[in-house]
Amino acid sequence: MKIIQKIGLAIFLICFSIFLLTLGAGKYQLTEATFKASVTDSTHQALLMPNLKEMVGKEYSSNINFIADYNKGFDKTNQKFKDNEEWDKVIYTDYSLPIIKNSSIGFVKDNQMLLFYICFIISALGGAIYMIADLFIQPVAGIKNNNIFKSGITNRGIIAILFSVFLVAFYLFLYKAPTYLSNWILLVDPLSISLTGGEASHWFLYGFLYSLIMLTMGIRVYVKYRHNNYEILRNTSVIFFQLAFAFMIPNILTTLQLPSMDLKNMWPLDYSFFFDYRLDSLLSAGMLGYWMLGWGIFLFVVGVPVMVYFFGKRWYCSWVCGCGGLAETFGDPFRQLSDKSLKAWKYERVIVHSVLVFAVVMTIAVLYNYITGADTILGVSTYAIRETYAFAIGFVFAGAIGTGFYPIMGNRVWCRFGCPLAAYLGIVQRFKSRFRITTNGGQCISCGNCSTYCEMGIDVRAYAQKGENIIRASCVGCGVCAAVCPRGVLKLENLEEEGRFDIYTRPEDK
């Protein structure tokens, strides 16, 4: 079985290497036809073509050169208008991604389907073999965190740092230069066309990878926690919400030419919910659009307080949310890396609540702008506020740091330090909720498994050893502290509010 496990790993690593190599493979050639297919606006065609003339017919073996030449021509076109201050003529549409995709020739283009299977399907199967083999290597169910702190990938070794660098780089390109990822996007084109009728964007690639990784790493969670029904159900729930709500439904809505929306995503995590283009799209889509707008507002106005009161913030953070779902599946091997110090907790409270304030202020500014038509608020450009938020929080914090730093700072960096929705859910959980982690009398032996494996960096033991229930704004209710406890001391539950803060006192001391 260990051999089979190694074969699984080898399959995955080979496929993953091919996936990486694919980025640099393939050739590119711009033709009149591909140019016209990519630049759909005929005015733009006429403006751009003269400056791209030199590219036409030339075969590029590297996408870097291709993109450089394209950008040169594009900038040249615009520079002229800018110099002449003909602002209305400047081209703002970014055609680089469709152009490079349509210009792809050679290996990648010719073997689109084959590479799709190798990079995604076979690699996922290799991963699945690796995870499932554990069923036979560790045939007796139970918590087996053996060697977690002895393995480089799960204990901040060189490989973990390299992996982190890779993830951060991926986010950088995804957000800032998706053109360079064109070969990967090309691979998911057939799938995108069959699902939505349109070619894949970089966001389609991202959504597809996200779902695939959650599904594959979800298998690992099923195997690891197979003796724990809470974990099995929770895992099923996050995978379901990712596949159905985050991936399939929005794509189906796109196919039906309806406004696409992830119906489980919620403001303020979904920070662009009140942006003008999204409001316009919803308000122009008839009843369905109104309903979607209403649903989005209902979720955070009524859904959050009511559901958190009855179940704690876990109903969202570790059962529904996409960020949480990735953290609980892909991120599970890194949960022990969160910082448990009091200092980290102090930083956490300041940062996460600041982000919440920022999100609220930004949204008010954007709505003010939308309703009144003024583009500044108190002398500050609302567009600038919105772009700052999108860049600093949406991209750097949630993406590059939030996921990129899994192997360094644990799997919930974003949820703990950055997510404004988590901050909001947390305030309700802390002050008005039936949820708590109950401590079983004086049973704690202070071993520290609970604190070590708390992804939110809560020092669970500090409460448990005092006989105190754990009621913390940040707790996402993943249930792992209770699962790893060797003495049955912890239980997540929803009980009556009264007495949730009571500390256990021995009858002898009463």
Partner 1 sequence: MKVVIIGNGIAGITTARNIRKQSDHEILVISAESDHFFSRTALMYIYMGHMKYEHTKPYEDWFWEKNRISLKNAYITDIEFENKTLHTAENEQITYDKLVICTGSVPKTFGWPGEDLKGVQGLYSKQDVELMEENTANIKQAVIIGGGLIGIEMAEMLHSRGIEVNFLIREKYYWNSILPLEEAQLVNRHINEHHIKLLINTELEEIISDDDNRVKAIKTKDGKVIDCQFVGLTTGVTPNIKFLKDSVLETDRGVLVNEFLETNIPDVYSLGDCAQFRNPKEKHPPIEQLWYTGKMQGEALAKTICGTKTNYNRGIWFNSAKFLDIEYQTYGLMFNKPSEDENTFYWEHPNGKICFRANFAKSDGSLRGFNFFGMRFKQTVADTWIRNENNISNCITHLNQGFFDAEFSANHHKKILEHFNETYPSYKVELPKKKKFLIF
The residues that touch partner 1, with contacts defined as CB under 8 A, are 140-151, 227-230, 233, 341-342, 438, 440-443, 445-449, 451-452, 461-462, 465, 479, 482-483, 486-488, 491-493, 504, 506-509
The token pair at 238 is 């996050």
Q: How far is the CB of 166 from partner 1 (least distance, A)?
A: 25
Q: Which is nearer to partner 1, 379 or 488 (CB)?
A: 488
Rounded distance between C-alpha atoms, residue 160 and residue 19, angstroms: 19
- Residue 11's SS3 state is helix
Q: Which is nearer to partner 1, 161 or 233 (CB)?
A: 233
Do residues 205 and 184 touch, judged by C-beta distance below 8 A? yes
Q: Which is nearer to partner 1, 226 or 349 (CB)?
A: 226
Rounded distance between C-alpha atoms, residue 309 and residue 408, angstroms: 33
Q: Which is nearer to partner 1, 140 or 287 (CB)?
A: 140
The token pair at 2 is 């260990």
Cα–Cα distances (Å) from 91 to 41, 55, 177, in that order, read: 10, 19, 18
DSSP-derived secondary structure for 283-313: HTSHHHHHHHHHHHHHIIIIIHHHHHHHH-T
Q: How far is the CB of 348 from partner 1 (least distance, A)?
A: 16
Q: Which is nearer to partner 1, 236 or 376 (CB)?
A: 236
H-helix or E-strand spanning residue 438: strand 435-439
Q: Which is nearer to partner 1, 242 or 336 (CB)?
A: 336
Do residues 49 and 91 touch, judged by C-beta distance below 8 A? no
**E strand map for 299-403:** 376-377, 380-381
- Residue 425's SS3 state is helix
The token pair at 328 is 């609980």
Q: Which is nearer to partner 1, 109 or 313 (CB)?
A: 313
Q: How far is the CB of 317 from partner 1 (least distance, A)?
A: 16
Q: How far is the CB of 214 from partner 1 (least distance, A)?
A: 21
The token pair at 340 is 């448990």
Alpha helices in 177-201 (DSSP H): 182-187, 189-196
Q: How far is the CB of 506 from partner 1 (least distance, A)?
A: 6
User: Any residues with CB less than 8 A from the CB of 112 and at least 6 apart, and which?
Assistant: 186, 187, 189, 190
Rounded distance between C-alpha atoms, residue 106 and residue 27, angstroms: 5
Q: Which is nearer to partner 1, 144 or 176 (CB)?
A: 144
Q: How far is the CB of 502 from partner 1 (least distance, A)?
A: 11
The token pair at 116 is 């799709």
Q: How far is the CB of 132 from partner 1 (least distance, A)?
A: 20
Q: How far is the CB of 304 from partner 1 (least distance, A)?
A: 21
For 182, half-sphere exposure in the C-beta direction (CA atoms, 13 angstrom radius) is: 25
Q: Which is nearer to partner 1, 24 or 441 (CB)?
A: 441
Does the CA dihedral 453-456-457-461 come out positive or negative?
Answer: negative
* Tokens 């009980």 -> residue: 495
Rounded distance between C-alpha atoms, residue 112 and residue 99, angstroms: 17
Rounded distance between C-alpha atoms, residue 139 and residue 128, angstroms: 17
Does the CA dihedral 282-283-285-286 come out positive or negative?
Answer: positive
Q: Which is nearer to partner 1, 342 or 378 (CB)?
A: 342
Q: Which is nearer to partner 1, 74 or 453 (CB)?
A: 453
Q: Which is nearer to partner 1, 34 or 439 (CB)?
A: 439
User: Any residues with CB less than 8 A from the CB of 449 and at least 6 apart, and which?
Assistant: 481, 484, 485, 486
Q: How far is the CB of 310 from partner 1 (least distance, A)?
A: 13
Identify the bridge partners of residue 71 per DSSP, sorted by sequence position.
none
Q: How far is the CB of 156 from partner 1 (least distance, A)?
A: 11
Q: 504: which DSSP letter?
A: P
Q: What count of residues does the chain have?
A: 510
